[in-house]
Structure 1
Amino acid sequence: MVPVEAHLAHVLAAIRPVSPARLGLAEAEGGVLAEDATARCPLPSFDNSAMDGYAVHASDVAQAGPDSPVTLPVTDEIPAGDTRSLMVAPGTCVRIMTGALLPGGADAVVPVEWTDGSRQQARFTQPAPAGHALRRRGDDVAEGEVLLAAGTRLGPAQIALLAAGGHGSALVRPRPRVAVIATGNELAEPGTPLVPGRIWDSNSYMLAAAVRQAGGVAQRHRVTDDPQVVLAAIKEHSGPADLLITSGGVSMGGEHDVVKAALVDHADVAFSKVAMQPGMPQGFGLVGKGPTPIFTLPGNPVSAFVSFQLFVRPAMEALQGLTPVPLPAVRAILTAPLRAPAGRRAFLRGVLDAATGTVTPLTGQGSHQLGALARANALIVVPEQVVRMEEGDPADVISLP
């Protein structure tokens, strides 16, 4: 059997990053920058007020106090977005809103809470030192400074920074487009009536959700147990997709291994036994003119889920030019004993309590048992040579996303 690390290394060696594309900011979300993004102007680009209040000469309110207020005439009002070039003369003030252009002459903003809020003659009961409540030009980012480095994944904050820095688009490696193909004559669409011998299709929904959670764009497909139909679907979707995932049809020696049968003549797709449980039968390779990477995952849902986290998730990161980062792992104390098969690394479903540093193995560890998987927030890793662990033993635990 192939070790887990060896199979992952084989996968990552075959992955080539998707080509960069210049996308508008809305479309670039979730993408990974392919070049540094620099500030096209200072941020902020002009001196402005950090608070609602009054723009003043600080010296004019230096003596203000609760028992000795200073009164200044209000000569104008500046809302955010007002582009007029105004001046504040000594002995006067201008009412100003947060983010508004600071008028010439002013060197402080007195918060409205320190005044009576008047629009004619404002009373100040507290001094404001020079520089108070001001945002100076370039305080955040200097012109030409790198806003975001190549290799940065664009989330909400990064998109905001690009927009604030004057970028309407970005050169990114886009979110991988992933086609999920579930196989099986037994599959029915959830919500439709079932007859004995049929099951509702959960794998395609689960894997598509996992793709989106990992930063990709997923499309779901379902085909029957016919090798020609499976092959046609793989050919059809390998063109527009950056990655293909099939589930089912790869068991070792079964006569209904339709995915293996469909790809039997594809020398670039290899099927192997990986030393793990669940998820021993694995297939990976390249198909189509792209060529497009394809993962052929087991049909049991827990096997497919664990396989995705261990192999597909890192491949998706590599597709965006990133160095794959393993899921967070910690050591935790078992609250109950567990068993595992000899010669295979087990990934048992559990509930990790970070506060106490403990992990509880769940009942229902079969590769078909979605109930335990849905309750789990972690995988308990049992080494290949270990067949039993006791309550109180330390264990390696992978946190699930």
Structure 2
Amino acid sequence: MKCFFNTTNLLRIALIYIVTLLLPFGSRALAREISRKEYIQQYSHIAIRQMNQYGIPASIIMAQACLESGNGNSRLAVKANNHFGIKCHNWKGKRIYHNDDERGECFRKYNHAEDSFKDHSEFLRNGRRYQSLFDLKRTDYKAWAHGLKAAGYATNPQYAQMLIDIIEKNELYRLDGENFSMKESKRLRKERAKIDKANRKAEKAARKAEKRAGKSSSADKNSEIGIILPPETPQIGDPGSAVWVESSPLYNYTLDRQIFTNNGLQYIIANGTETYQSIAKEYNLFTKELLKFNDLRKSAPIPSGTIIYLEAKRNEGEKSAYVVQEGDTMYGISQKLGIKLLKLYELNNMEYGSKAEVGTILNLQK
């Protein structure tokens, strides 16, 4: 009879023992951790989306996610889709308990990673102590990093520099660039258009069903509010296309508000009864933020027909040039074409505040 404890059997026993020890830790213990590069590639598009919706630099969002989640490998990220270490507080949803500053602390558990990114953006956007950050340029990641530390986001004295190092080593500042944001804005508009088309189709089918059922037409009239076709010729010199927007994660659009687009930007036409404060409140913006979007330093009465941008204007125009018309002002041109006023002056080597004569050809691109 051969001895049971030969070399082959001993190796088998050892392997079974090791696997048995690893089982309590789950399959993740046997899986390869993803690298920082892979993590950034996987989630950078979400960071860009959050930037366009909430005004937080995508580089900052991505750097915080890398740092807080260990590049997506932390227990909270893997088990709870919590990529920012957000604790429960007044959370009503699913929970996970994890040892942090204290043992068994409560953290939020999300169905999807994107929910965690959105929660993080809303935390910063709605947090009173972080409001001053939204006065900073979206491309100034260093100021944002130091601002987060100064506002008390983290206790680590090196937190700001840690974020900056991650951003610079991985070139995350490229995510904040206009080319990235314009591309993402176009994608979001296309996505919104598809949703609107589906909604219109569903509403049309619902109205037909109601008519067949003999219901009153009053309900039909109410259901048509969000689908009125825009005018053939939008106001203010046809600066862009008009669309009807039902809702947005940031802007809280109402069904009776007409939204125009120009140079990849969303704007409204003032009706003469509003103030910058009331418009900012309606679209969940800070008043000074709305003023900055429109190259204004202080609030003033708004004449009917005024273009009001709901996001920062571009550094360049869609077209390469513009011929100055009778009655044009540099500010009016910058609003009509969706270009920052200072950039319009710089593109044409003009002194800030100077006037452009009728017939002058203005450069709109570098």
Normalised TM-score (structure 1): 0.21
Q: Relative contact order: is structure 1 or structure 2 higher (C-alpha 8 Å, sep ≥ 6)?
A: 1
Q: Of the two, which has the highest radius of gyration?
A: 1
More helix by share: 2
More strand by share: 1
